[in-house]
Structure formats: C-alpha cells, structure tokens
Amino acid sequence: MKLSLIQLKTAAAPEENIARILPLLKQAKAEGADMAVLPEMCACPYENAAFVRHAMELDAPFLQELGAAAKELGLYLVAGSVPEKCKNKIYNTSVVFDSKGHRIAFHRKMHLFDINIEGGQYFMESDTFTPGEWLTTFDTPWGRFGLMICYDIRFPELARLLVLESADAVIVPAAFNMTTGPAHWELSFRARALDNQIFMAGCAPARDTNASYHSWGHSIVTDPWGTVLGQLEENEDILTVELDFSKVEKVRRELPLLKHRRTDLYGIGSVMSGTDTNWR
C-alpha cells in the first residue's frame, strides 16, 4: 500500500486549515495514496492559547469535512491531531477515518510534552491538555496500525504494547521542535522500528518561522529493519512511500527478536485498548 505524509504549515484557524488540506489530500490521492496522514495540531497553531480557543468535539465541522474528504477520495485518513473538547477537559487527539468516511478510531495523546531545556525549548502541554489513557489500534485491508502522538514515541513500552496488540505499523502525527528534532527525531523512529520490527511513520508540520513554535519538519518513514525509506526537509511537501507488509514477516522470521524475549524473566503490563468496546 502507499502511504502519504502531508507536511504543511498550520494556519491560524480550523477553517483556514481545512481549505489548505483538502487540495493536498486530492494531490496525495493522485500520487496513488491508500492512506494519508496529517501533522500534529493540523487544525490550529501549536500553542496553549490556540488549544483552548479552537477546542472542538469529535463531530465538529473540521473533522466532519475531513471524513467527507476521506469518503470522496476513497482514502484512509489519519487526521493528524486536534484539540478535542470533551466535557470540561481538552485532549490532544488524533482521529482516523476509513475509505468510506467512517470514524474507526481516535487516540488521545498519553504522554504530555512538558519540557524545559536550558537555553532551548520550553513548553508545557499539561497547562491545557489532559492525558489519554488507552492504546489505539485500527485495522485496514493491508494490516493493523497503531497510533501515537509525538511525545508518545519516546516511551518504548507503548510501541511494544502496540506490537503485542499485533500492529504491523505505527503512525505518529508529531511536531518535534528545533531543539529535540535535530537530536532525536530520526533516531526515535529508527529505534522504535528496529526494536519492534515494524514500519514507523511520523508526519510533522512544515516549519513556519513566523509561528511561536518552530517545527523541525522532516516527516519520515522507517521500515522493520530500521532503514529510512523516505524523509522530507523542513518545507511544505508530501512524502509518499510504498509499504510492503511482507517485509514485517520476513524480518521477524530472519531475526526473531520478539520470539527471543525472556518473558520468564521480565514482562510488560497493559492498558485499556482502543479496540475495546468500552473506550468510546
């Protein structure tokens, strides 16, 4: 299958962003995409004031239009993430639509990005967001996908839990910054892919030096051997990569890391799965 990562600059409001996203989805489809992915916070700027101002419910017009586009184009769509309003809380949430426009999953970012690097980046997501509490996987005609958001990738337990839930690939809408991006972006995706023998795909916003938060960009896809299949620079672009899921089976057969785990000596717990009926 073909996967397209749409790296675009984020405008000030959801209605501006949807007007820019829809033509790019059509472009991705024209490039042969079976699934498209949008960046973290594709509806509004990455800043706490904007999260509050543009918080939306899961049936908001912005997401309805994305679902309608997925149906029109016959495209699976991982709709980056949006600030989701639920009761009196706000979550950093990614919504997945199938090729008929049905919402088949959503993931609330489990690990909030609170960082204070001397001489570098300062940001506190916990000033606004509530952390999510479940694993998220979704099934497609090509295989099972797991879903993370940005900072979630730094916790190897989460990637392993998704693999134990039979994920063949993990999608990560993300917005690493100019401090962490150069140091850890590619390394994180290669490491999670290598350790778990899966495809990893990270879709970032394009860099906007006029924004308050400067994204590293560099949307990326890595394969089960830890090889980078494709990576963008910092500008607006679309990265389309073909994923051959037989490679997951081949790598795991030739180098059976998962079978060699010493579960008699160590183990990993679990959390509620987004495939359970009681998560909706």
Q: pLDDT tens digits, residue range 83-139?
A: 999 999 999 999 999 999 999 999 999 999 987 877 767 789 999 999 999 999 999
- Model confidence pLDDT, tens digit, residues 137-189: 999 999 999 999 999 999 999 999 999 999 999 999 999 999 899 999 999 99
- Nearest alpha carbon to residue 108 among 150, 156, 61, 46: 150
Burial of 115: CB neighbours in 10 Å, binned 0-12, 13-18, 19+: middle
| CATH code for the domain in which residue 33 is found | 3.60.110.10
Print the domain residue range for 174: 2-279
Please list the active-site residues: 40, 109, 150
Between the alpha carbon of residue 27 and those of residues 23, 61, 74, 147, the distances in Å are 6, 22, 13, 24
Q: What is the pLDDT at residue 274?
A: 64
Q: Determine the average pLDDT of the residues in 187-195.
A: 98
- Nearest alpha carbon to residue 247 among 237, 238, 255: 255
Q: What is the pLDDT at residue 118?
A: 76
- Pairing type for strands 35-37 and 76-78 reads parallel
Residues 6+ apart with CB under 8 A from 8: 20, 21, 24, 38, 39, 42, 205, 206, 236
Q: What is the pLDDT at residue 270?
A: 77
Residue 264's CB: how many other CB atoms inside 10 A? Answer: 6
Instruction: Return phi, psi of residue 165, to 5°.
Output: -90, 15
Structurally, the chain folds into a number of domains equal to 1
Residue 59's CB: how many other CB atoms inside 10 A? Answer: 9
* 278 pLDDT more than 50: no
Residue, of 268 and 37, whose pLDDT is higher? 37
Percent of the chain with pLDDT over 70: 96
Copy the structure tokens of residue 224. Answer: 């089960």
